[in-house]
Amino acid sequence: MVRQRRFIAGVASTLLLLNGCGGANAVGTSAVQAESTGSAGAPYLCPAGLTSSGPLNCTQLPLGDRKFSTSGPSIGNVYSCVQLSGKPVVQSAPWIDAKNGTWSLPAKLAVRGAVKWAGSVSVSVSGSTRTVSGNALPVAPYATGIYPISPSDPAYQYDRNPNSIEAHTFSYALPANPAPAAIPSCLSPGPIGVTISGITIYDAFDAAGYDGAARELQDGCLGHPDPSDTYHIHGSISFCSGDTGSLAQNSPLLGYALDGFGIYGPWYGGKILTSADLDQCHGTTSTVEWNGRQVDIYHYVATYDFPYSLGCYAGTPIQSGPPPT
């Protein structure tokens, strides 16, 4: 028996977080066809909510620069398969407080634009396999910034990303009922998961091992393209992913990691979860909706603080890497 869900359009954009990501002034296919919209200000809004240690403070988020290990996982860090080196794309900016090791999400600039794409993604379950496939373009109403970054965009003074957004066919055969592995696995560069909006998820770092969400310029959905022209997210996938969690409602399923476990938003039990509430792989076990039922199961949590999505694989990942073109 095959159960299938197709997300061609109609995935709700988040109501809590954005004022600059949902515009509809253009449609992209294999290349951007749009005019810049919106102001030069930062669109990232911090939700009013409590964490286990008090109100969420998005103006002093922990900076994740070089917080990785190649020898094993630990809470609040990334277990990387490779040694990362080099300099960050953005070495200094008004929203980065390197001295105190923090950065401000509300103060960060975002790449301008609101481009909608002919994106598609499907999720089907057959037996013990969940197949997630698509063209790596976001489904409507998710909208991206304009790339390459225009010299007229204020973001250009910090990050001159020359890459475009293009389609890439992908298909991941994931375990439909994943189980924790005896030993966690490291994260390789490139895709570590995919959202139900069809967006590729990378780990928290730029290529040099610095905090990608803080140090690179992204659009209002915290996404941007890499040199392969793959649009992807380093930071919290709650942005533009349909997370309607709140004090009264837990966050829904937002995506799948490449070991098959689900990734959910940060709202749970009337609070906003942070890294302090999660294990070394950035996950926890609690009751969530899974395969159409309420199940007590392990899952990852997309948080506002580093490492944002995964710190390692709790299960056994399929072979990862850039999607085939």
Task: Identify the three-state secondary structure at position 59.
Answer: helix
The answer to whether the beta carbons of residues 26 and 34 sit under 8 Å apart is yes
121 - beta bridge partners?
7, 134
- HSE at residue 304, side-chain half, CA atoms within 13 A, is 28
Does pLDDT of 44 surpass 90? Answer: no
**Among 315, 40, 299, 22, CA closest to 179:** 315
The pLDDT value recorded for residue 152 is 96
Task: Using pLDDT thresholds of 50, 70 and 90, give the confidence band for residue 25.
Answer: very low
- Asked whether residue 127 carries a pLDDT value surpassing 60, the answer given is yes
pLDDT for 26: 39
Return the SS3 of 40: coil
The predicted model gives 108-130 an average pLDDT of: 95
Q: Which of 34-38, 116-120, 161-165 has the lowest mean pLDDT?
A: 34-38
Using the predicted structure, report yes or no on whether residue 324 has a pLDDT greater than 50.
no
Percent of all residues in the chain with a pLDDT value above 70, rounded to a whole number: 85
Helix (H) or strand (E) holding 213: helix 212-215
Q: What are the residue boundaries of the structural domains of the chain, listed by start?
A: 1-325
∠ Cα 288 44 59 (to 5°): 95
Tokens representing residue 276 in the block: 């302090």
The answer to whether 303 touches 274, Cβ cutoff 8 Å, is yes
pLDDT (mean) for 148-156: 96
Which tokens sit at 158?
């910090």
SS3 sequence of 84-96: CCCCCCCCCCCCE
Strand order in the sheet with 61-62: 61-62, 102-103, 96-97
Q: Could you tell me if 12 and 239 are in contact, meaning their C-beta atoms sit under 8 angstroms apart?
A: no
More confident: 323 or 38: 323
- Mean pLDDT, the chain, whole residue set: 86
pLDDT band at 42 (very low <50, low <70, confident <90, very high): low
Is 264:307 a contact under the CB 8 Å cutoff?
no
SS3 243: coil
| Per-residue CA distances from 37 to 21, 29, 161, 242 (Å) | 10, 19, 18, 22
71 pLDDT higher than 60: yes
Burial code of 112-145, b = ≥16 C-beta within 10 A, e = fewer? bbbbbbbbbbebebeeeebbbbbbbbbbbbbbbb
Across the range 288-308, mean pLDDT stands at 96
Q: Is the pLDDT of residue 57 over 60?
A: yes
Whether the predicted pLDDT of 251 surpasses 90: yes
Q: How far is CA 40 from the centre of its chain?
A: 23
Cβ 79 vs Cβ 69: under 8 Å:
yes
Q: In terms of residues, how long is the chain?
A: 325
* Residues β-bridged to residue 124: 4, 131
- Render pLDDT for 169-206 as a digit per residue (tens, 0 to 9): 999 999 999 999 999 999 999 999 999 999 999 999 99
SS3 125: strand
pLDDT digits (tens, 9 = 90+) for 202-247: 999 999 999 999 999 999 999 999 999 999 999 988 877 777 778 8
**Residue for token pair 């860090």:** 77
Give the whole-number percent of the chain exceeding pLDDT 90.
77
Say if residue 28's pLDDT is above 80: no
**How far, CA to CA in Å, does 215 sit from each of 31, 49, 183?**
25, 25, 31
Provide the pLDDT confidence category of residue 47 given band limits of 50, 70 and 90. Answer: confident
Going by C-alpha positions, the residue among 14, 7, 10, 6 that lies closest to residue 251 is 14
What letter would DSSP give residue 266? S
| Distance from C-alpha of 119 to C-alpha of 105, rounded to nearest angstrom | 28
How far is Cα 82 from Cα 244, in angstroms, rounded to an integer?
A: 35
Query: What's the predicted TM-score (pTM) here?
Result: 0.87
